[in-house]
């Protein structure tokens, strides 16, 4: 190295002679120690000298160095030119080492290197090494191995004290070259050209800093540091001080800070609230302008516990002395919600107030949902849910006002108490079969707690939510019963009565129906059915009356029930009248007047008989009677005899003497003392209709005697009676007819049949047996018949020459032939005489069988009914492939009724029974057991068992041809409801949404057998078309109706909603069938109870870009403010990316040579507001928004991560404790990102304004409106 170069190098290292100078010597030992790792392996070191070491263009972090090497011999010098050499840089303060590769330049015959990782303001010692050959040691000869980097400002920081902004700069100065230097800072307000200055002085040791004070900077404005210079003693001798490119040259005064001191709610109303917010500033020295406005962001939890945000812009600050407050007047906010303030700021950014999450306000509670149920007692229960997060209604009494649709002027009400946010209230004794409408809800008492200065009046009305379905205001009272207020039994005679009942007009829903009285003889099970009668209206009462005839005298009757049916379905009693609490059992029975039931006699001697007269009497006191009888001969006399009546019912062994042998006598009257018949006479004989003429005749001639009577053939409607006579009687019959008188038990109507010897083929064979057979037909099924008498009918020629019939009574036994009294009556075969089905319930049929069983052989036993599915959903083919083709159910036989409550049927099916369907079980009677069905897996087995058991099982027969019609042998189920189990949004766009619904409830419910192809409960809807009712969520818009795209198939169908608003939520109100005239598809109510209201019934169109602001005030930077309209909150808590692309002069996209990482940014937000800052953009370049996308995720992102990202990007947002992203029900897709498109209403104006220029001029702020949405600087 020449002397001249050494001097030049020394000058570079000692540029400030008045400071501490660095020598070129004295550091070698230290460097060798520092390089000990390289020297440790030296065995026999060789020395090579470094000469002419020169530092070129040494900056704060970079430097270029050149030097020459000289070995002790030519071999070492030549070796160095090809060796792998490194220059090691040792920071004298931190001992931090960096290194760079050495390059040999053959033309210049020197070595050079470049380093770009030095620390500013530091002293470095250098050492040359050969890492692959540690034997060589490099010694600096007559040249310095030290240098220093330039000083450089590394960073700026700033803070505020009242109205003063303090800027602090920091730099490294290991050489103390800038000790006590005076600094001049040049700065300007962004967007202006005026350069301002501030003075400061460097303080500290090697790590130095300087403070600059700025008074009365404009808050909310950005300031840029333009330049930085320093001097020592002479202000005119200025030196440049470098600023690191990594240092942020921008600063701004902090916003005026404060906090919410208190929050006072002045009023609330329908989706509105008035709140006074008191604010306090952190510094009393800070003053606010009188026209200051603020923005308030508030948030609340929706019904799914997800946070939603709202914004109130440009709210006036009211300044009264030291008091600062704002009146927040909100409208169109959710009802019944609890709100918190999340942040307060102004448009310029000069204000920032801290919030207190303990302070909140509310909106008026509102009715969210009403479910009305009407039970069997006609009690309407109202299950009401309120939107009331503040529990303002908790414990309050609420009155529900409602009216009958046909009487809107008459308001009814009921009261209930709110527990939490729910209320259950009941309304009893409403008119039945009536449609009602809920009009309003009122609070009983004042719930507001506002101060007296408020103008809010105490409110009592509870509003309905904007999302409330108006159909829930409607309810209908069913008619499951009607009550009898009074019952009258009058005009009671020996064989007739009148039954009258009175009902209140509240039950006038039955006025157009017919009623049938069912009654029976006390102690009997057989029901007697009256004729059906229509209702009469008398004043405000409903009246029914039945005139019953042919009753049995002296018999106690009991009213069983009164059935109500439609005019065309007399037997299908859908309800029965209830007897009111004022009607007692003794009012339901009556007794007919007494009458003679039989007259018999026994011969006592040749001139006397013992007369026996039985009186059918239950109540009346009968003690004595006068009997008049007459001789049956021309000029015959009438005689009288007194008789005593024993036990009010019998004249026993009354001896009548002095009778002429061979002469007949006829009883003319039986006059009872202190008795009047229904005809007003004391003679009981005229009202005794069951006494035949022959029974009134007696005499002392040889008696005709019956030994026994047997029922040979008991059938449903016929009987064959075999009567056995004594030989003398049989001989006396001769060719004359024998007549048998009989009557139905409980009836006074006298019936008869005749026969004669030889009339029946069996008689000729039985002549030696002295018997005759009587064939009886047209009998009542399952009934008891009394044999009143059997007489011999002889035809004689009367005095007038005409033929007359004289009947002679036969005796039932005598002293020698004892007659069993049980043989004096007989029964017909028991059977089912009527069947009816009530299918007014869904999936349920009540089958009622009326059993005629006077014998009582089935009473108290258990019956089993078997039935078969013959048609499903209007299709016989579907029935054959159904999983539940057959079923059976048991029920006890109670009296004359068998009532089967058949449940778990297909919703739309036709079932059939046959003559063998009703069996008797040997087990004791038990409560009704639910239907058991045979499923497909065991069909073949159960069918075969069923068929094989027909000959073994004891069945209850049916009345002949009863099941000949479909109405009797078949019962059907009619669907009334359907339940949607899922609603899935399958596709969405800016103004369209497609969704699919499914009716997925399984048939048989939890009791079903496992099957791969489980039948669905609502599969009857297949092939039908539906329509959907929907409206804008939270809005006042009218509901709209859209038909499904296709008919229902496999219990699914799809809907496509068009012309929807961008980024808007819509609520699905309900579904209905498209009306048509096909009777196979009855109208049903479609329920959404299986859906979650907020997760399933609310759908939304895709998120769109609603607002954009672009700020290009900083050179090579662009700040983008992005606000989305995302009612569905698809983007909440997810990464939203904004990507830009560079546009060339030809308008084509220009590929960048380097990384594109600075052209795509990502952020996470919960309220749809994003701030993106793009840096290091090229000057004189055009950029365009390439895309705005959000990351679609199958799972909800972690809340803490989303919240931390949000907090780091927005320092003004308060730390809200819990945020959850909201997800509208959307099926997961494979695509990981979805593009966010433009707000459709403004998109046509965007194309001409896409491109903006990044120019090398003083920064200029550009704000775009909706017309500059796709452009960025």
Tens of pLDDT, residue by residue over 833-848, are 999 888 888 899 999 9
Q: Residue 721: which pLDDT band, with cuts at 50, 70 and 90? A: very high
Average pLDDT over residues 1068-1086: 83
Segment 619-624 shows an average pLDDT of 93
Confidence of residue 1264 (pLDDT cuts 50, 70, 90): very low
- Is 607 part of a structural domain of the chain? yes
Pairing mode, strands 541-548 and 536-538: antiparallel
Q: What is the Cα–Cα distance from 701 to 698, expressed in whole angstroms? A: 9
Q: Check whether residue 192 and residue 315 sit in a common domain.
A: no
b/e map 244-271, b = 16+ CB within 10 Å: beebebebbbbbbebebeebbbbbbebb
3-state SS, residue 977:
strand
Give the rounded percent of residues in the chain with a pLDDT score beyond 90.
30
pLDDT at 381: 92
Stretch among 220-224, 225-229, 260-264, 909-913 having the lowest mean pLDDT: 220-224
Residue 1225, strand partner residues: none
Q: What is the pLDDT of residue 141?
A: 86
Question: What region does 512 belong to: left with phi over 0, alpha with psi -120 to 50, or beta?
Answer: alpha
Asked whether residue 26 is assigned to any structural domain, the reply reads no
Among the listed residues 47, 49, 63, 54, the one whose alpha carbon sits nearest the alpha carbon of residue 10: 54
Residue 683 has pLDDT above 90, yes or no: yes
Which of 362, 388, 411 terminates a domain? The answer is 362
Q: What is the CATH number of the domain that holds 328?
A: 2.60.40
- 1041 and 1052 in one domain? yes
C-alpha to C-alpha distance for 741 and 748, rounded to whole angstroms: 12
- pLDDT of 1213: 37
pLDDT above 50 (res 453): no
761 pLDDT band, cuts 50/70/90, is low
Q: Is residue 473 a contact partner of residue 437, using CB atoms and an 8 Å limit?
A: yes
Beta-bridge partner residues of 338? 362
Do 349 and 201 reside in the same domain of the chain?
no
What is the bridge-based pairing of β-strands 993-998 and 970-973? unpaired
Lowest mean pLDDT among 181-195, 215-229, 905-919, 1114-1128: 1114-1128
Domain count, the chain: 9
Q: Which domain holds residue 102?
A: 46-148
Whether residue 296 is found in the same domain as residue 376: no
Most confident of 302-316, 514-528, 568-582, 587-601: 587-601
Q: Is the pLDDT of residue 766 over 70?
A: no
Q: Is the pTM of this model over 0.85?
A: no
Do 837 and 899 lie in one domain? The reply is: yes
pLDDT, one tens digit per residue, over 698-717 is 988 888 899 999 999 889 99
Average confidence (pLDDT) over 897-924? 89
Using alpha carbons, list the distances in angstroms from residue 1254 to 1151, 1180, 1268: 17, 5, 16
Please indicate, yes or no, whether residues 576 and 648 belong to a single structural domain of this protein: no
Supply the pLDDT for residue 940. Answer: 34
Q: How far apart are CA 1031 and CA 1060, in angstroms?
A: 10
Structure confidence at residue 738 as a pLDDT band (50, 70, 90): very high
The rounded distance, in Å, linking the Cα atoms of 286 and 678 is 113
Is 90 within 8 Å of 97 (Cβ atoms)?
Answer: yes
Shortest CA distance to 1063 belongs to which of 1170, 991, 1169?
Answer: 991
- pLDDT tier at 1267, thresholds 50, 70, 90: very low
Residues in CB range of 121: below 8 A, 6 or more apart? 60, 148, 149, 150, 151, 152, 171, 172, 173, 174, 175, 177
Q: Assess whether pLDDT exceeds 70 at residue 1111.
A: yes
Domain termination site, one of 1190, 1214, 1229: 1190
* pLDDT of 65 strictly over 80: yes
CATH at residue 216: 2.60.40.10
Are 964 and 1037 within one domain?
no
Question: Could you tell me the two tokens for 479?
Answer: 């008619």
| pLDDT higher than threshold 50 for residue 21 | no
Same domain? For 615 and 752 the reply is yes
Q: Is residue 300 part of a domain?
A: yes
Is residue 1010 included in any domain, yes or no? no
Question: CA 351, CA 257: separation in Å to the nearest integer?
Answer: 6
Choose one of 1163, 1190, 1217: the last residue of a domain.
1190
Spell out the residues 6+ positions from residue 222 whose beta carbon is closer than 8 angstroms to its own: 189, 190, 250, 251, 252, 1113, 1114
Tokens of 283: 């510094």
Quick one: 797 and 651 in the same domain?
Answer: yes
Q: What is the pLDDT of residue 1080?
A: 81
**Residue 118 falls within a domain, yes or no?**
yes
CA 220 – CA 347 distance, rounded (Å)? 9
User: Considering only 447-456, 499-508, 741-750, 863-872, which range has the smallest mean pLDDT?
Assistant: 447-456
Q: Has residue 1069 got a pLDDT over 70?
A: yes
Both 654 and 786 in a single domain? Answer: yes
Same domain, 662 and 751: yes
Q: Residue 709 forms beta bridges with which residues?
A: 723
What gap in Å lies between CA 60 and CA 377, rounded to an integer?
A: 95
pLDDT value of residue 829 = 94
| pLDDT band, very low/low/confident/very high, at 187 (cuts 50, 70, 90) | very high
Query: pLDDT band at 1107, cuts 50/70/90?
Result: confident
Using alpha carbons only, give the angle 633, 638, 644 rounded to the nearest 5 degrees.
130
Above 80 in pLDDT, residue 674?
A: yes
What count of residues does the chain have?
1273
Question: What is the per-residue pLDDT across 523-564, written as a single tens digit (0 to 9) for each?
Answer: 888 888 888 888 888 888 889 999 999 999 999 999 988 888
Examine residue 23 and state whether it is found in any structural domain, yes or no. no
Residue 529: predicted pLDDT: 86
List, edge to edge, every strand of the sheet that includes 624-631.
638-644, 624-631, 665-672, 697-698
Instruction: Give me the mean pLDDT over the 200-204 stretch.
Output: 81
Determine whether 1010 is exposed, middle or buried from the number of CB atoms within 10 Å of its CB (0-12, 13-18, 19+): exposed
| Consecutive H or E run containing 786 | strand 784-797
* Cα 1130 to Cα 321: distance, rounded to the nearest angstrom: 46
Residues 817 and 702 in one domain: yes
Cα pseudo-dihedral 941, 947, 948, 950, rounded to 10: 140
* pLDDT tens digit sequence for 951-988: 456 899 999 999 999 989 999 999 988 999 999 888 88
Given a contact cutoff of 8 angstroms between Cβ atoms, the answer to whether 154 and 61 are in contact is: no
* Mean pLDDT in residue range 671-688: 94
User: How buried is 1041 (Cβ within 10 angstroms: 0-12 exposed, 13-18 middle, 19+ buried)?
Assistant: exposed
How far is it, in rounded angstroms, from Cα 811 to Cα 695?
9
Locate 1087 and state its tokens. 């329920």
User: Which one-letter DSSP state was computed for residue 180?
Assistant: T
Give pLDDT, residue 1216.
34
- Domain presence at residue 1220: no
**Nearest Cα residue to 601 out of 615, 592, 612:** 612
Give the mean pLDDT of the chain.
Answer: 81
The whole-number pLDDT of residue 946 equals 36
Residue 465 phi, psi (nearest 5):
-60, 150
Among the ranges given (617-621, 655-659, 823-827, 1193-1197), the one the predictor scored with the smallest mean pLDDT: 1193-1197
> Rounded to a whole number, what is the distance in angstroms from the first to the last CA of the chain?
54
In this predicted model, what pLDDT tens digit does every residue of 364-400 receive, in sequence order? 899 988 988 887 667 889 999 998 988 889 999 999 9
pLDDT at 1242: 53
What are 623's two structure tokens?
């003690």
Other C-beta atoms closer than 10 Å to the C-beta of 219 total 20
With respect to residue 543, please indicate whether it lies within any of the assigned structural domains. yes
Number of other residues whose CB lies within 10 A of the CB of residue 76: 17
Tell me what percent of the chain is helix, strand and coil, each rounded to the nearest 5: 10, 45, 45
Q: What is the pLDDT of residues 467-518, one digit of tens each?
A: 888 888 988 887 667 788 899 999 999 999 999 999 876 677 788 888 889 8
């Amino acid at each position: 190295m020449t002397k001249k170069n050494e001097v030049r190098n020394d000058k570079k290292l000692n540029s400030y002679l008045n400071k501490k100078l660095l020598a070129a010597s004295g550091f070698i030992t230290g460097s060798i120690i520092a390089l000990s790792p390289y020297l440790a392996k030296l065995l026999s070191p060789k020395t090579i000298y470094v000469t002419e070491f020169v530092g070129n263009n040494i900056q704060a972090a970079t430097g270029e160095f050149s030097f020459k090497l000289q070995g002790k011999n030519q071999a070492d010098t030549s070796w160095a030119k090809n060796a792998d050499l490194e220059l090691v840089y040792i920071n004298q303060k931190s001992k931090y080492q960096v290194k760079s590769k050495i390059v040999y330049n053959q033309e210049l015959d020197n070595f050079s290197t470049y380093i770009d990782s030095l620390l500013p303001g530091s002293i470095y010692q250098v050492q040359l090494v050969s890492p692959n050959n540690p034997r060589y040691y490099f010694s600096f000869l007559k040249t310095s191995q030290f240098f220093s980097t330039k000083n450089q400002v590394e960073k700026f920081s700033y803070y505020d004290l009242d109205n003063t902004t303090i800027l602090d700069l920091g730099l490294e100065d290991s050489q103390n070259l800038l000790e006590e230097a005076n600094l001049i800072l040049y700065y300007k307000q962004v967007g202006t050209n005026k350069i301002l200055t501030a003075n400061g002085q460097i303080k500290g040791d090697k790590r130095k800093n300087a403070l600059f004070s700025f008074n009365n900077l404009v808050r909310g404005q950005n300031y840029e540091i333009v330049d930085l210079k320093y001097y020592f003693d002479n202000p005119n001798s200025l030196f440049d001080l470098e600023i690191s490119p990594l240092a942020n040259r921008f600063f701004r005064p902090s916003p005026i800070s404060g906090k919410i001191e208190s929050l006072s709610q002045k009023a609330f109303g329908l989706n509105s609230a008035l709140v006074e917010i008191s604010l306090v500033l952190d510094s009393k020295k800070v003053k606010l302008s009188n026209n200051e406005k603020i923005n308030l962001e508030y948030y609340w939890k929706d019904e799914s516990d997800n946070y939603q945000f709202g914004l109130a812009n440009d709210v006036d600050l009211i300044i009264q002395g030291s008091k600062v407050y704002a009146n927040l007047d909100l409208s169109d906010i959710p009802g019944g919600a609890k709100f918190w303030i999340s942040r307060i700021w102004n448009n310029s950014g000069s204000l920032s107030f801290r919030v207190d999450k303990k302070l909140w306000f509310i909106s008026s509670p509102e009715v969210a949902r009403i479910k009305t149920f009407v039970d069997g007692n006609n009690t309407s229960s109202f299950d009401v849910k309120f939107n009331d997060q503040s529990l303002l209604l908790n414990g309050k009494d609420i009155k529900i006002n409602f009216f009958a649709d046909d009487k809107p002027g008459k308001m009814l009400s009921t009261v209930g108490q709110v527990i939490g946010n729910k209320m259950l209230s009941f309304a009893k004794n409403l008119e039945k079969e009536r449609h009602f409408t809920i009009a309003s809800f009122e609070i009983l008492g004042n719930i507001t707690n506002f101060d007296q200065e408020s103008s809010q009046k105490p409110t009592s009305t509870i509003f309905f939510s904007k999302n409330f379905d108006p159909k829930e205001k409607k309810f209908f009272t069913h008619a499951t019963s009607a009550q009898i207020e009074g019952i009258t039994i009058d005009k009671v005679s020996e064989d007739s009565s009148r039954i009258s009942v009175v009902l209140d007009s509240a039950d006038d829903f039955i006025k157009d129906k017919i009623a049938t009285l069912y009654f029976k003889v006390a102690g009997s099970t057989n029901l007697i059915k009256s004729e059906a009668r229509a209702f009469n209206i008398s004043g405000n009462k409903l009246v029914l009356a039945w005139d019953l005839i042919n009753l049995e005298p002296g018999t106690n009757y009991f009213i069983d029930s009164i059935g109500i049916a439609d005019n065309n379905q007399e037997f299908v009693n859908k309800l029965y009248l209830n007897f009111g609490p004022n009607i007692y059992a003794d009012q339901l029975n009556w007794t007919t007047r007494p009458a003679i039931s039989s007259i018999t006699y026994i011969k006592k001697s040749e001139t006397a008989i013992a007369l026996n007269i039985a009186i059918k009497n239950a109540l009346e006191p009968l003690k004595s009677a006068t009997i008049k009888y007459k001789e049956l001969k021309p000029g015959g006399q009438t005689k009288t005899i007194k008789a005593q009546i024993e036990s009010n019912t019998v004249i026993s062994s009354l001896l009548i003497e002095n009778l002429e042998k061979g002469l007949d006598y006829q009883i003319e009257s039986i006059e009872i003392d202190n008795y009047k018949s229904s005809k007003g006479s004391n003679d009981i004989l005229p009202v005794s209709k069951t006494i035949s003429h022959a029974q009134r005749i007696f005499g002392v001639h040889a008696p005709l005697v019956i030994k026994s009577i047997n029922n040979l053939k008991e059938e449903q409607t016929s009987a064959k009676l075999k009567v056995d006579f004594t030989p003398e009687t049989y001989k006396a019959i001769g060719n004359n007819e024998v007549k048998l008188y009989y009557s139905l038990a409980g009836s006074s109507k006298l019936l008869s049949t005749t026969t004669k010897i030889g009339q029946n083929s069996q008689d000729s064979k039985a002549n030696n047996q002295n018997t005759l057979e009587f064939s009886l037909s047209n009998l009542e099924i399952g009934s008891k018949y009394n044999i009143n008498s059997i007489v011999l009918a002889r035809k004689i020629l009367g005095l007038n020459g005409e033929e007359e019939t004289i009947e002679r009574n036969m005796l039932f036994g005598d002293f020698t032939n004892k007659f069993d009294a049980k043989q004096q009556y007989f029964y017909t075969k028991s059977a089912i005489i009527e069947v009816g089905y009530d299918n007014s319930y869904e999936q349920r049929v009540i089958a009622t069988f009326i059993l005629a069983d006077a014998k009582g052989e089935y009473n108290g036993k258990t019956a089993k009914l078997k039935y078969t599915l013959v048609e499903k959903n209007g299709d016989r083919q579907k029935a054959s492939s159904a999983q539940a083709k057959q079923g059976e159910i048991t029920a006890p036989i109670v009296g004359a009724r068998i009532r089967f409550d058949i449940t778990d049927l297909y919703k739309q099916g036709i079932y059939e029974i046959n003559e063998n369907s009703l069996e008797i079980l040997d087990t004791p009677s038990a409560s009704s057991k639910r239907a058991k069905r045979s499923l497909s897996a065991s069909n073949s087995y159960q069918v075969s068992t069923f068929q094989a058991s027909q000959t073994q099982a004891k069945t209850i027969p049916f009345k002949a041809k009863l099941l000949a019609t479909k109405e009797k042998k078949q019962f059907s189920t009619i669907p009334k409801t359907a339940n949607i189990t899922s609603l899935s949004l399958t596709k969405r766009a800016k103004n369209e949404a497609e969704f699919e619904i499914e009716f997925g409830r399984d048939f048989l419910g939890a009791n079903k057998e496992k099957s791969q192809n489980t039948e669905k409960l609502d599969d009857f809807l297949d092939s039908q078309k539906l329509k959907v009712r929907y409206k804008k969520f939270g809005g006042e818009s009218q509901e709209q109706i859209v038909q499904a795209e296709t008919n229902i198939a496999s219990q699914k169908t799809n809907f496509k909603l068009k012309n929807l608003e961008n980024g808007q939520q819509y609520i699905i109100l309900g579904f209905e069938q498209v009306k048509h005239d096909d009777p196979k598809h009855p109208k049903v109510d479609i329920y959404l109870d299986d859906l979650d209201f907020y997760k399933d019934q609310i759908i939304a169109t895709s998120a769109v870009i609603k607002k954009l602001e672009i700020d290009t005030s900083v050179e090579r930077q662009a700040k983008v403010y992005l606000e989305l309209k995302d009612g569905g909150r698809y983007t909440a808590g997810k990464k939203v990316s904004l990507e830009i692309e560079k546009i060339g002069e030809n308008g084509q996209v220009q590929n960048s040579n380097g990384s594109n990482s600075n052209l795509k940014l990502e952020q996470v937000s919960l309220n749809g507001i994003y701030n993106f800052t793009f840096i290091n953009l090229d000057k004189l370049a055009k950029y365009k928004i390439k895309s705005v996308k959000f990351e679609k995720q199958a799972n909800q992102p972690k809340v803490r991560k989303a919240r931390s990202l949000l907090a780091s990007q927005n320092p003004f947002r308060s730390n809200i404790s819990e945020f959850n992203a909201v997800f509208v029900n959307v099926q997961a897709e494979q695509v990981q990102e979805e593009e966010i498109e433009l707000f459709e209403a403004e998109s046509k104006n965007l194309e001409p304004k896409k491109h903006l220029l990044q120019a090398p001029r003083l920064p200029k702020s550009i704000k775009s409106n909706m017309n500059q949405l796709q452009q960025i600087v």
